[in-house]
Structure 1
Amino acid sequence: MTRVDAPGPGVREVRITHLEMTDPAELTPAREPRVEASFVRAGRPAPELSRYFYRAVGGDWYWLDRIEWTYDQWLAWVSAPGHELWYAVVDGVPAGYVELDRSSGGPGSVEIAYFGLLPSYAGLGLGGWLLTRAIERAWAVEGTTRVWVHTSELDSEAALSNYQARGLRVCGTETELWDTSRPSPGPWRTAR
């Protein structure tokens, strides 16, 4: 996303929805996906992997705020205390990911900072399954009292309903100005 401070050509108001879960018993697990999948943790900080998923998953959804990050910025993100990167693997291929962040939202909070599937893996029942695994992992972190996430109306149509189906409830909304004058670049800069 490209946030701006003032209206102009191509600038629109975008609704941001914040959701939270304050008790692990609120989780409604998804059914198993229609394909065999595993949930794997990146065992060490991997800025290349984080950047790959960010572009491959978010390229169609206006995830633009980190496009110009340097290697050192990516390294700082994935090396920060409380950061975890997990991903789904189908037939040996990464199919989607989640990044958990314990540095924002206050003590005891775990943010689902980034979450999504690669486009070719949508429709296989992986989204709900992966979100279930992510929420379970967030609650497994000692001292967790809140799991939270935010989404925008420019994210996948399935995002908000998936979050709510897993038991996350809306705890706030806001509106931001975003420059949407050009289409989101897709997973590759020259893809469109």
Structure 2
Amino acid sequence: MCLDGYTPVPPTHVATVVTYLEMREPPPRPPRAPLPLDAIGADVARYRALYRAIGESWLWFGRARVGDEALLAILADPDVEALALTEDGRDIGLLELDWRKPGEAELAYFGLVPGAVGQGRGRLLMDEALRRAFARPIGRFWVHTCTLDHPGAVEFYRRSGFRPYARAIEVTPDPRLTGDLPRDAARQIPLLAE
């Protein structure tokens, strides 16, 4: 199988390169004061609003495609923790950890609303993610990101102690055409089919 060259993608789809990263033990981190994190719990509307505020400009569609009942089942699972970073009574960050696979923790979703990026909050939120993930007996903490995400995501994860171990190409129906996201989401990614 030859993977060199270009592969056509239908105009109704988007393609992205996905990078998988992992760590096997927590990197040394100084102790920090607790962050103002609030458990989202079964509040599907709150989760969706925060997910959209963070991810719409990056074309996050994973949870947008999940129905309310399925999302509620995920959020209610005792091995999933969805937390909102709050400031002045507003949700400004999302930390979602998933321990459903034995011996592993996945950083399922992690991000800040646009106005909170670049001010050190991401580092504090990641330190909390590391603390929480490794508070349980796991052998691996992993995350994946893609070329549709913030351009600094891979380097941020590397600086946090994650190491890349695999790549994949994901091709999926454009969520702006399926109705999962508004048509004006992620304007930096051309909408080819009208």
User: Any idea what the Cα deviations from partners look like across 1:109-159, whole Å, max 9, x if unmatched?
Assistant: 000000100111112111121111111111112x12211100001101121
Equivalent in 14, 19, 22 of residue 20 of structure 1: 22
Q: Normalising by the residue count of structure 1, what TM-score does the alignment of the two structures yield? A: 0.79
Please say if residues 145 and 153 of structure 2, whose CA atoms lie closer than 8 Å, have aligned partners that are also in contact: yes
Amino acid in structure 1 at the alignment position of 2:125? L
Amino acid in structure 2 at the alignment position of 1:74? L
Q: CA RMSD in A?
A: 3.0
Amino acid in structure 2 at the alignment position of 1:51? R
User: Which deviates more from structure 2 when the two are superposed, residues 9-18 or residues 76-85?
Assistant: 9-18
Distance 1:12 1:69 in 2: 18
Partner of 1:139: 134
Does the alignment pair 1:102 with 2:99? Answer: yes
- Call closer, same or farther: CA 1:111–1:121 in 2, change over 3 Å: same
Does the alignment pair 1:124 with 2:119? Answer: yes
Does the alignment pair 1:69 with 2:69? Answer: no
Percent identity for Structure 1 against Structure 2: 32
Q: Normalising by the residue count of structure 2, what TM-score does the alignment of the two structures yield? A: 0.78
Partner of 1:170: 164
Please say if residues 93 and 112 of structure 2, whose CA atoms lie closer than 8 Å, have aligned partners that are also in contact: yes
Please say if residues 20 and 165 of structure 2, whose CA atoms lie closer than 8 Å, have aligned partners that are also in contact: yes
Amino acid in structure 1 at the alignment position of 2:45? E
Distance 2:138 2:82 in 1: 17
Instruction: Give 5+ residue unaligned stretches, structure 1.
Output: 1-5
Structure with max Cα Rg:
2
User: Any idea what the Cα deviations from partners look like across 1:56-111, whole Å, max 9, x if unmatched?
Assistant: 111111112332433212211101230001222223322101100111xx421000
- Call closer, same or farther: CA 1:181–1:66 in 2, change over 3 Å: closer
Partner of 2:48: 51
Does the alignment pair 1:111 with 2:113? Answer: no
Tell me how far 1:27 sits from its aligned partner: 4.9
Distance 1:160 1:107 in 2: 25
For these two proteins, the number of residue pairs brought into alignment is: 177
